């Protein structure tokens, strides 16, 4: 399964690099462009490819191990408002004594439906269900599980472009977030002799769009490189809420300050990964991603929904 997905992702990259079509931004709500965020998801269905996403961190063990994660995800709209994503992550964990554990995590699929796009208020609302499929990862290495995880999730995005001109400096700000409830398909893990908790999983991002500042507020005559930047702070958390017998109800998560550079066909993001407590990890890690806008690259083919594709010209991203 994972080999087939890797071939599909690699093929999509080759097509993307060969494309010469006009650049079309894939997640516009009115004048607001929401970039694909690294730690949480953006509030739009789209045709896109994240590959690779690479992270390095230290685990919460004492002494800590070092962990590398390499992942890829491809998203495809089935209709104008309904999309499906498939993602896979390969993980390597190196213990202080040199022992290495490596393998694939469970395959993840996400089903999403666009509930709302309010152009005048730059507001987007998206509903989804994330499924991590049990027995599709390296269960014997502890990187996969014998049970599945089902997470109904609500995503939102809100730009502040509808504020009055007296607050023009605030208008490039935007807030995105997601809230989900993660439910395992089994309540007890017999291999670990432990209860499997249900968890609230949630996060948010605060971003300041310099492309929006230039196009919608004021052109400060900055060098072109800076007009492509979106400074961002993301946060992602998980809190056990049920079936956590014998364990503390400790919230874990990270805060990720960083920046996204947005181009016509792709974006590059880089963030620091700061654990919020000792249970979340040791020290500061790093997260980077190359994200390709397939619906911008192939607006008449790959970038169209499988059913009921629109012939209208999408909004262009300008700098």
Q: What's the confidence (pLDDT) of residue 5?
A: 42
Q: Tell me, what's the pLDDT at 305? A: 93
Assess contact for 103 and 91: CB atoms under 8 A.
yes
Convert the pLDDT of each residue in 162-220 to its tens digit: 999 999 999 999 999 999 999 999 999 887 788 999 999 999 999 999 999 999 999 99
**Range 251-262 average pLDDT:** 98
> Which tokens hold the place of 81?
């408002």
Name which of 43-52, 283-292, 307-316 the model is least confident about.
Answer: 307-316
Using pLDDT thresholds of 50, 70 and 90, give the confidence band for residue 62: very high
Please give the average per-residue pLDDT across 131-147, as a whole number.
95
Of the given ranges (6-20, 92-106, 209-223), which has the lowest mean pLDDT?
6-20
**Mean pLDDT taken over the chain:** 90
pLDDT 10s digits, 22-46: 334 479 999 999 999 999 999 999 9
User: All domains of the chain, ordered by start, with CATH?
Assistant: 2-297 (2.40.160.40)
CA angle 275, 151, 58 (to 5 degrees): 20
- Tokens standing for residue 1: 């399964």
Q: Report d(CA 293, CA 299) in Å as an integer.
A: 10
The pLDDT of residue 153: 98
Q: What integer pLDDT is reported at residue 278 of this predicted model?
A: 95
Residue 99 CA to residue 92 CA, distance in Å, equals: 10
Report how far residue 192's alpha carbon sits from residue 61's, in angstroms, rounded to the nearest whole number.
17
> DSSP code of 143?
S
Structure tokens at 151: 């997470």
Whether pLDDT at 64 is above 50: yes
pTM: 0.89
């Amino acid at each position: 399964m994972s080999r087939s997905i890797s071939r599909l992702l690699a093929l999509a990259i080759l097509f993307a690099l060969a494309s010469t079509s006009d650049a079309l931004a894939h997640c516009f709500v009115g004048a607001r462009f929401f970039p694909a965020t690294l730690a949480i998801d953006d509030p739009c269905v789209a045709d896109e490819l994240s590959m690779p996403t690479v992270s390095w961190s230290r685990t919460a063990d004492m002494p800590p191990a070092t962990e590398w994660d390499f992942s890829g995800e491809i998203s495809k709209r089935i209709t104008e408002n309904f999309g499906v994503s498939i993602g896979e992550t390969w993980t390597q964990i190196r213990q202080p004594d040199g022992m290495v554990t490596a393998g694939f995590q469970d395959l993840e699929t996400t089903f999403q439906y666009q509930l709302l796009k309010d152009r005048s208020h730059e507001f987007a609302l998206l509903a989804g269900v994330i499924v991590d499929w049990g027995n599709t990862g390296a269960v014997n290495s502890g990187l996969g599980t014998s049970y599945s995880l089902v997470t109904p999730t609500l995503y939102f995005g809100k730009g502040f472009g509808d504020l009055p001109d007296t607050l023009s400096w605030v208008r490039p700000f935007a807030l995105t977030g997601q809230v989900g409830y993660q439910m395992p398909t089994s309540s007890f893990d017999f291999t670990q002799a432990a209860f499997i908790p249900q968890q609230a999983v949630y996060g948010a991002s605060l971003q300041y769009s310099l492309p929006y500042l230039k196009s919608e507020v004021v052109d400060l005559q900055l060098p072109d490189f800076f007009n492509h930047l979106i400074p961002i702070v993301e946060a992602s958390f998980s809190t056990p809420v049920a079936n956590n017998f014998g364990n503390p109800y400790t919230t874990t998560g990270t805060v990720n300050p960083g920046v996204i550079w947005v181009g016509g066909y792709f974006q590059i993001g880089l963030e620091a990964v700061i654990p919020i407590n000792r249970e979340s990890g040791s020290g500061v890690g790093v997260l980077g991603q190359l994200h390709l806008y397939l619906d911008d690259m192939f607006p008449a083919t790959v970038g169209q929904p499988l059913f009921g594709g629109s012939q209208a010209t999408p909004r262009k991203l300008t700098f």
